């Protein structure tokens, strides 16, 4: 298999990680946080601890004006416009700093939804697709927190199938305005938003974006939804009844609303991961603290192996996912700079970078939300009965986390998208997966290599190459069946889900390996490296088993007889990562967490 090494000067393209390898020294890790970034991170943490967490009940009860006042305060600190260029009143900070901001705000529960809807899907459509006049008119006031934004895509009849929206927009006879009629559903921030980004069908069939101001006659709101969690976040229906929207408020081109809707979601997914992992770290800390305090059978429950497993696993999943998050964060930054150097303006460069890594953003959305779900679930379990009580924070965190697998594209839709995007990019020639897939096929027909793994991380490097071979073998075989007319992947979502899960496992494993290798080269303490190595080996041990199962499930669904036997032999050859004593590796991680009394990785 060709495993070309990517030079930092040629930034890895979207999806290319499957066929190229990266170097630790070119991979960004959060431990590289610089002084300015640390200052901003601490500023957000102070805001969280002083303004948000002590007032959490006021947020949770949706006390009128309270969440908007918090957004305004964040705006005054520059935290709502950190991602905007100075020309629009922003701080123009790099992607990694913005990732640290979201990460730090992660424990803010419902408030993270208000924040993300405002700065992401609320502001970005104007920044990416607005005219200069629209940008000047709205962005500085949105960035300062004076105005709040909401994003109206979903309707009662169109959720995942967003382009099936029925809300209409018809140009008035004098051409001065569009008349909007229809209904939007599940709109975050609707209760206090001043600006609504609305998608409607011009003439009933041209999906188009609009900027709609709150005081537009004909715009009305439904009651607050009674939700499972994130109760502090305003979620309402928005109705349009002959609502006249000035023609100059069309966003982007008529009929090109899908570009706005989907591009805003790429960064939304990325930010969702950062916020989720920030929340996961806080929850892990709460689990550790409770496990140290709670005495049963005359000792802290943290002494029990079953509890240590949970504490360690919460931290391991979070650390591994975080490696992928910051890796993509830096890729986005590099790609943005690449487009800037080619003459694109800031908005275009940022938009194109997010589009390039749409596949990686979908991976992050899934791992961020699923890691958080694991962590909050085990947090409840570690708290026992107290975890089930509304007196503590565990029950609320458990309910709040659940939304993340549903919005910004459900996790099923994101998994489907990942595989679809990979095949599309391959078909367009943006990445070459055919040659490496063919080389894997040739390797299957040859004698297994007896080459020994070399170096401190030789086993993991080899396992990673093998993970990629398994993905290429399985996806390549399915694609070939499809070309031969023996399989229609559109009708075989179970197989697509298997392939998506292997892609996710591979990307996380690689990101973690690169981070741990880089940390080994930095001047970290040997006792910390011992923990990083334990995390790495645990993840590779588990990933090997899971990838083997996903591949077996997929291959057995479409191959049989000799062909299936050949694939399964290949699979056996590619899953030779030596078994790890995961009891000991997890105990080591748990011991470090318990000693520190918090998530300390
Ligand atoms: C609290 C909350 C806040 C929200 N905020 C906003 C907001 O600010 N703005 C906005 O526009 N929207 C918002 N949404 C809407 C959200 O994005 C949608 O709920 C989500 O996209 C799913 O759509 P749906 O609810 O119609 O579910 P459906 O699309 O009906 O999906 C139901 C199930 O079917 C699955 N499914 C659907 N299609 C397929 C398929 N092709 N293949 C396989 N499985 C499929 C889904 O994965 C899901 O499991 C919010 C939702 C909630 C609950």
Count of the separate structural domains present in the chain = 4
Ligand 1 center to 315 CA (angstroms): 29
Contact 137, 146 (CB under 8 A): no
Give whole-number Cα distances, 87 to 80, 127, 136, 343, 416, in Å. 15, 11, 9, 17, 38
pLDDT tens-place string over residues 266-324: 999 999 999 999 999 999 999 999 999 999 999 999 999 999 999 999 999 999 999 99
CATH number of the domain enclosing 117: 1.10.540.10
For the chain, what percent of residues have pLDDT higher than 90? 88
pLDDT (tens digit, 9 = 90+) per residue, 442-458?
A: 888 887 777 788 889 99
The finding on whether 411 has its CB within 6 A of some atom of ligand 1 is no
Q: What is the DSSP letter of 295?
A: E
pLDDT band at 539 (very low <50, low <70, confident <90, very high): very high
Told to judge if 32 belongs to the known catalytic residues of this protein, a careful annotator would answer no
Q: Where are the alpha helices (DSSP H) in 297-410?
A: 305-341, 346-356, 358-382, 384-387, 394-401
Q: Are 143 and 155 in a shared domain?
A: no
In a domain, residue 25? The reply is: no
Q: In whole angstroms, what is the distance from residue 368 CA to residue 381 CA?
A: 20
153 within ligand 1 shell (Cβ under 6 A): yes
Most ligand 1 atoms within 8 A of CB, residue of 123, 160, 225, 399 to mutate: 160
Both 183 and 267 in one domain: the answer is no
Q: Contact, 147 vs 138, CB < 8 A?
A: yes
Residue bearing the CA closest to ligand 1, atom 24: 159
Tell me: do 115 and 164 sit in the same domain: no
* Local confidence band at 9 (pLDDT 50, 70, 90 cut-offs): low
In 3D, which of 518, 522, 144 has the Cα closest to residue 330? 518
What pLDDT score does 434 carry? 78
Note whether residue 6 is domain-resident.
no
Give me ligand 1 centre to Cα 409, in Å. 6
What's the token pair of residue 6? 């990517």
CA pair distance 360, 540, nearest whole angstrom: 20
- Find out whether 439 and 2 touch, Cβ atoms under 8 Å: yes
Half-sphere exposure of 120 (CA within 13 A, CB side): 28
Least confident of 87-101, 270-284, 482-496: 482-496
Among candidate residues 255, 272, 306, the one where a domain is terminated: 255
Nearest CA to ligand 1 atom 31: 160
Report how far apart, in Å, the C-alpha atoms of 464 and of each of 72, 514, 539 are: 46, 11, 11
Cβ–ligand 1 distance for 227 under 6 Å, the answer yes
269 Cα–ligand 1 center, Å: 14
Q: Are 135 and 217 members of one domain?
A: no
* pLDDT band with cut points at 50, 70 and 90 for residue 527: confident
Looking at the fold, whether 396 and 372 belong to one and the same domain comes out as: yes
One domain, residues 316 and 330: yes
CATH of the domain at 187: 2.40.110.10
- Which of 112, 182, 125 has its CA nearest to residue 151? 125
**Residue 187 CB–ligand 1 contact under 6 Å:** yes
Whether the CB of 403 sits within 6 Å of ligand 1: yes
- Going from the Cα of 403 to the center of ligand 1, the distance in angstroms, rounded, reads 10
Residues 276 and 130 grouped into a single domain: no
Ligand 1 atom nearest 225 alpha carbon: 1
The residue whose CA is least distant from atom 2 of ligand 1 is 186
Any atom of ligand 1 within 6 Å of the Cβ of 183 = no
With a cut of 50, say whether residue 1 has pLDDT above it. no
- Residue 272 maps to a domain: yes
* pLDDT confidence bin for 391, thresholds 50/70/90: very high
Closest C-alpha to ligand 1, atom 30: 159
The closest-lying atom of ligand 1 relative to the alpha carbon of residue 230 is: 1
The predicted structure's pLDDT at residue 2: 43
Q: Please choose from 410, 412, 491, 495 the residue to mutate so as to test ligand 1's pocket, defined by most ligand atoms within 8 A of CB.
A: 410
Q: Is the CB of 559 under 6 A from ligand 1?
A: no
CA-nearest residue, atom 40 of ligand 1: 413
Taking residue 480's Cβ as centre, other Cβ atoms within 10 Å add up to: 13
Assess whether 241 and 272 both reside in one domain.
no
Query: Of 155, 378, 408, 461, which one is the catalytic site residue?
Result: 408
Angle at 156 between CA 154 and CA 157, to 5 degrees: 95
* Chain segment 403-462, per-residue pLDDT in tens: 999 999 999 999 999 999 999 888 888 888 878 888 888 888 887 777 788 889 999 999
553 lines ligand 1 (CB under 6 A): no
Statement to judge: residues 369 and 511 lie in one domain: no
The CA distance from 326 to 98, in Å, is: 11
Would the pLDDT of 5 be above 70?
A: no
Cα–ligand 1 centroid distance for 406 (angstroms): 6
Distance from the CA of 21 to the center of ligand 1, in angstroms?
35
Residue 20 lies in a domain: no
Any domain includes 46: yes
315 and 365: one domain? yes
Same domain, 339 and 359: yes
Task: Report the separation in Å between the CA atom of 233 and the middle of ligand 1, taken as the mean of its atom positions.
Answer: 17
- Any atom of ligand 1 within 6 Å of the Cβ of 506: no
Per-residue HEC secondary structure of 70-109 comes to HHHHHHHCCCCCCCCCHHHCCCCCCHHHHHHHHHHHHHHC
Q: Ligand 1: does its nearest atom lie under 6 Å from the Cβ of 235? A: yes
pLDDT at 372: 98
From ligand 1's centre to the CA of 159, what distance in Å?
5
The atom of ligand 1 lying closest to the CA of 158 is 26
Q: How do residues 225-268 score in pLDDT, each as one tens digit?
A: 999 999 999 999 999 999 999 999 999 999 999 999 989 899 99
H-run or E-run covering 201: strand 195-202
Q: Is 438 a member of any domain?
A: yes
Looking at the chain, the whole-number percentage of residues with pLDDT higher than 70 is 98
229: which DSSP letter? S
**Orientation angle between helical segments 257-293 and 358-382, nearest 10 degrees:** 30
Q: How far is the CA of 276 from the centre of ligand 1 (A)?
A: 18
* CATH code, domain carrying 456: 1.20.140.10
Can you give the pLDDT at residue 440? 85
Both 104 and 165 in one domain: the answer is: no
Residue with CA at minimum distance from ligand 1 atom 53: 186
Q: Please name the residue ranges forming H helices in 294-304.
A: none
Q: Is residue 5 domain-resident?
A: no
Final residue of a structural domain among 148, 179, 199? 148
Nearest atom, ligand 1, residue 188 CA: 8
Is 406 near ligand 1, meaning CB less than 6 Å away? yes
Residue nearest to atom 50 of ligand 1 (CA): 186
Q: Does 196 sit in the ligand 1 pocket, CB within 6 Å?
A: no
406 contact partners, CB below 8 Å, separation of at least 6: none
Range of the domain at 358: 258-413
Most distant CA atoms of the chain, gap in Å = 81
Give 155 Cα–ligand 1 centroid separation in angstroms.
Answer: 10
Report yes or no on 428 lying in a domain. no
Last residue of a domain, one of 220, 255, 290: 255
The band of 7, judged by pLDDT with boundaries at 50, 70 and 90, is low
């Amino acid at each position: 298999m060709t495993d070309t090494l990517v030079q930092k000067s040629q930034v890895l393209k979207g999806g290319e990680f499957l066929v190229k390898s990266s170097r630790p020294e070119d991979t960004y890790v959060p431990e590289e946080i610089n002084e300015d970034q640390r200052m901003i991170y601490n500023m957000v943490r102070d805001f969280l601890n002083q303004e948000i967490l002590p007032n959490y009940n006021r947020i949770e009860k949706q006390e009128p004006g309270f969440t908007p006042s918090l957004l305004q305060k964040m705006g005054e600190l520059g935290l709502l416009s950190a991602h905007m260029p100075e020309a629009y009143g922003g701080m123009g900070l790099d992607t990694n700093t913005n990732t640290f901001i979201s990460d730090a705000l992660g424990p803010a529960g419902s408030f993270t939804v208000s924040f993300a809807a405002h700065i992401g899907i609320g502001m970005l459509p104007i920044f990416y697709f607005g005219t200069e006049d629209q940008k000047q008119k709205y962005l500085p006031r949105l960035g300062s927190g004076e105005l709040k934004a909401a994003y109206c895509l979903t309707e009662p009849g169109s959720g995942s199938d967003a382009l099936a929206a029925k809300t209409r927009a018809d140009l008035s006879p004098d051409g001065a305005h569009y008349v909007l009629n229809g209904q939007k559903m599940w709109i975050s921030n609707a209760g206090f938003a001043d600006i609504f980004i609305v998608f409607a069908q011009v003439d009933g069939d041209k999906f188009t974006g609009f900027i709609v101001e709150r005081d537009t006659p004909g715009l009305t709101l439904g009651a607050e939804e009674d939700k499972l969690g994130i109760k502090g976040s305003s979620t309402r229906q928005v109705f349009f009844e002959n609502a006249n929207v000035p023609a100059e408020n069309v966003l982007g081109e008529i009929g090109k609303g899908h570009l706005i809707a989907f591009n805003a979601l790429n960064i939304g997914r990325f930010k969702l991961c950062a916020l989720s992992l920030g929340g996961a770290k806080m929850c892990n800390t709460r689990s550790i603290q409770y496990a140290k305090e709670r005495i049963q059978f005359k000792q802290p429950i943290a002494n029990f192996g079953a509890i240590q497993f949970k504490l360690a696993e919460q931290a391991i999943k979070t650390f591994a996912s975080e490696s992928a998050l910051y890796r993509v964060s830096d890729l986005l930054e590099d790609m943005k700079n690449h487009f800037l150097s080619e003459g694109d303006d800031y908005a275009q460069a940022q938009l194109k970078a997010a589009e390039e890594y749409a596949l990686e953003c979908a991976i992050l959305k899934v791992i961020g939300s699923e890691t958080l779900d694991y962590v909050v679930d085990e947090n409840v379990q570690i708290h026992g009965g107290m975890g089930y009580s509304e007196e503590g924070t565990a029950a609320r965190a458990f309910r709040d986390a659940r939304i993340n697998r549903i919005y910004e594209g459900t996790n099923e839709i994101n998994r489907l998208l990942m595989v679809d995007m990979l095949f599309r990019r391959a078909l367009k020639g943006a990445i070459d997966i055919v040659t490496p897939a063919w080389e894997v096929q040739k390797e299957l027909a040859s004698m297994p290599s007896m080459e020994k793994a070399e170096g401190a991380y030789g086993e993991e490097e080899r396992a990673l190459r093998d993970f990629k071979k398994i993905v290429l073998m399985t996806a390549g075989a399915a694609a070939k069946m499809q070309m031969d007319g023996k399989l229609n992947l559109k009708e075989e979502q179970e197989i697509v889900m298997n392939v998506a899960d292997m892609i996710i496992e591979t990307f996380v494993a690689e990101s973690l390996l690169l981070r741990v290798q880089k940390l080994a080269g930095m001047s970290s303490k040997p006792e910390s490296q011992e923990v990083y190595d334990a995390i790495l080996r645990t993840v590779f041990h588990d990933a090997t088993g899971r990838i083997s199962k996903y591949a077996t499930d997929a291959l057995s669904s479409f191959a049989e007889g000799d062909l299936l036997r050949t694939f399964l032999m290949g699979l056996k050859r590619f899953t030779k990562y030596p078994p790890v004593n995961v009891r000991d590796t997890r105990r080591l991680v748990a011991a470090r967490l318990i000693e520190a009394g918090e998530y300390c990785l």
